[in-house]
Chain A
Amino acid sequence: MGVVANFIRERIPVSGDQLRELTNEPVPNHLRRWWFCLGGTPAYLFVVQIVTGILLAFYYEPSPKAAYESVHYITDEAAFGWYLRSVHKWGATLMIAAVILHQMRVFFTGAYRKPRELNWMVGMCLLICTLVTGFTGYSLVYEQLSYWGATVGANITDTVPVIGVYLKKLMLGGEVYNERTLPRFFMLHAAVLPVSIVLLLGVHITLLRLQGVTEFQFEDEPEDGPKHFNFFPDHLYSELIIGLVLMILLSVLATVLPSTMGPKADPLTTPEVIKPEWFFYVTFRWLKLFSGTAAVLSMGFIAFTMFVWPFIDGLVRRWWPKSEFSVFAGIFAVIAIVGLTTWEALVKH
């Protein structure tokens, strides 16, 4: 043992103390409460997505000629292919849900406030990357809804003033959905976006480590008790428990509600009912409420507002230090989002 340890120590000159220093960040006590672990959940699911995504890519062929058949092969012929595909799909759903919940927790606890404004903005970038990954992934199956979803998405981009038309061409690799479109979506989904997410996560966690986790004091905790506990192994165990619960949840969801396949994409027939994935219901409903450019511009404005919210909130608090403005704004936003999503989910058109 000693020989091996020495061999390694000589070649990787990191001392145990340094390692402990690096990993054993003191974790604030409030993280003993499970809902504060929502930040780790999307990260764990992201790993699941990477693993299952790589596995799916073993059989997936990103060309309009073969895409549908290859997904069909994965779903119906490859051993456990249906399971891995279903886990990937449910993983995406849970990951987006977890990201949104994490963001809501950060928002309502005011954890984005000075000096953490930039990390909020990095988080916003992560949110956008996650949503776009979901959108492109959905398009890869090349079933009817994938195709028409992508077409509609591209045409929404088109309504953006000035740059929209170029964005659309860039997105589709041509004027309309063509045989070079699917490889584009695949590269975005399987390379560009995951790498972006990894890099952004790196920044996100680095900033978190540099600034430390926002600390909260809860009323039921003793004032004089220890304020921190160890990341290793205590918090790691918590994360392991969350990970396993997620794996079990994913397996059960995949078995009970496995991903199926709709009819193959047919560029000549638009399906009667066309809907995006649930996480785009809000946008979809919004676009139906307002027409064309107005809808897109207002969406852009809302996104921008969310982006710079820490500064807006800062300004407001400078003028009215006691105001609960951001909480009310948050409640309003949540009601609006839930309302629009439910509305879209309940109606056919």
Chain B
Amino acid sequence: MSEETTAQPESPERRTFLGTATSLLMAGGLAAGYGGFAAVVGRYLYPAKPEKKGWLYAADAASMKAGDSFTYRTPTGATVAIARQGDSGEADDFIALSSTCPHLGCQVHWEGPNNRFFCPCHNGVFDPQGKGTGGPPSEAGQALPRYPLKIENGLLFIEVPLEKLDGGSAANEACGHKHPGAC
């Protein structure tokens, strides 16, 4: 580091010390300032939340008996098998499992009499809790993903990923370009 042009009558040690100290200070300040800015940028680029989730109405709890099941479609289009497996009247009676088989993505269905979920593609079998008990999922130790459920005022709610209504989705365009009467 040359300081010839601004040479001042100071002792060499002091000069070296001052030079090192201010260099450190400068480096620290620059790192702090621009580092802070980089942190802001990182936070900006990182998705705010992985996905928006919400509790949505799924069914009237009383309308299902133990052993009943139905297919629920989440707003994002995923299918969920919701089955009632008990009569206590609690949310624990119900189970909501993704209908997508973890093996190769086929749709499973609930077999009440056999007390199991069954995937017709490769005879995958899952127990009522979604654990793989037969076929490829059992071998790979896979299970059906579960969705949280709760009961409020006798109504069953499911927590699922949400999709935005006004996101300029294909939904709005499906009708928009056609004659309104054609919808």
Query: Please, how many angstroms separate the alpha-carbon atoms of A66 and B173 in the complex?
Result: 13
Name B's interface SS: helix
The listed residue (B5, B44, B45, B168) touching A230 by CB distance below 8 A is B5
Query: Please, how many angstroms separate the alpha-carbon atoms of A81 and B48 in the complex?
Result: 11
Query: Please, how many angstroms separate the alpha-carbon atoms of A77 and B48 in the complex?
Result: 8
What per-residue 1/0 map shows which CB atoms of A225-247 lie under 8 Å from chain B? 01001100110000010001001
Are A233 and B44 touching (Cβ within 8 A)?
no
Are B48 and A78 touching (Cβ within 8 A)?
yes
Give the residues in chain B near A348, CB-CB below 8 Å: none
What per-residue 1/0 map shows which CB atoms of B1-26 lie under 8 Å from chain A? 11001100000000000000000000
Known: A69-B166, A81-B44, A84-B41. A230 touches B2 (CB 8 A): yes
What per-residue 1/0 map shows which CB atoms of A131-149 lie under 8 Å from chain B? 0000000000000000000
Tell me if A36 is interfacial: C-beta within 8 Å of chain B. Answer: no
Query: Please, how many angstroms separate the alpha-carbon atoms of A270 and B33 in the complex?
Result: 44
What per-residue 1/0 map shows which CB atoms of A174-191 lie under 8 Å from chain B? 000000000000000000
Known: A66-B168, A230-B2. A58 touches B45 (CB 8 A): yes
In this complex, how many residues of chain B approach chain A with their Cβ under 8 Å: the count is 18
- Count contacts between A and B, CB distance < 8 Å: 41
Query: Please, how many angstroms separate the alpha-carbon atoms of A136 and B168 in the complex?
Result: 24
Task: Please name the residue on chain B nearest to A228 by beta carbon.
Answer: B5
Tell me if A80 is interfacial: C-beta within 8 Å of chain B. Answer: yes
What per-residue 1/0 map shows which CB atoms of A198-237 lie under 8 Å from chain B? 0000000000000000000000000000100110011000
Give the residues in chain B near A83, CB-CB below 8 Å: 40, 44
Q: How far is the CB of B118 from chain A (nearest CB, A)?
A: 42
Give the residues in chain A near B140, CB-CB below 8 Å: none
Are B44 and A79 touching (Cβ within 8 A)?
yes
Are A78 and B1 touching (Cβ within 8 A)?
no
Tell me if A65 is interfacial: C-beta within 8 Å of chain B. Answer: yes
Give the residues in chain A near B46, CB-CB below 8 Å: 79
Tell me if A334 is interfacial: C-beta within 8 Å of chain B. Answer: no
Known: A65-B168, A69-B166, A79-B48. A229 touches B5 (CB 8 A): yes
The listed residue (B1, B33, B41, B167) touching A233 by CB distance below 8 A is B1
B141-183 with Cβ < 8 A to chain A:
166-168
Q: How far is the CB of B137 from chain A (nearest CB, A)?
A: 38
Give the residues in chain A near B29, CB-CB below 8 Å: 244
Are B43 and A80 touching (Cβ within 8 A)?
yes
Give the residues in chain A near B37, CB-CB below 8 Å: 247
Q: Measuring CB to CB, which residues of chain B are less than 8 angstroms from any residue of chain A? A: 1-2, 5-6, 29-30, 33, 37, 40-41, 43-46, 48, 166-168
CB<8 Å pairs between A and B, sample of 5: A51-B41, A66-B168, A69-B167, A234-B5, A244-B33
In order of increasing CB-CB distance, the 7 nearest A-B pairs are A80-B44, A229-B5, A79-B43, A80-B40, A66-B168, A79-B44, A65-B168
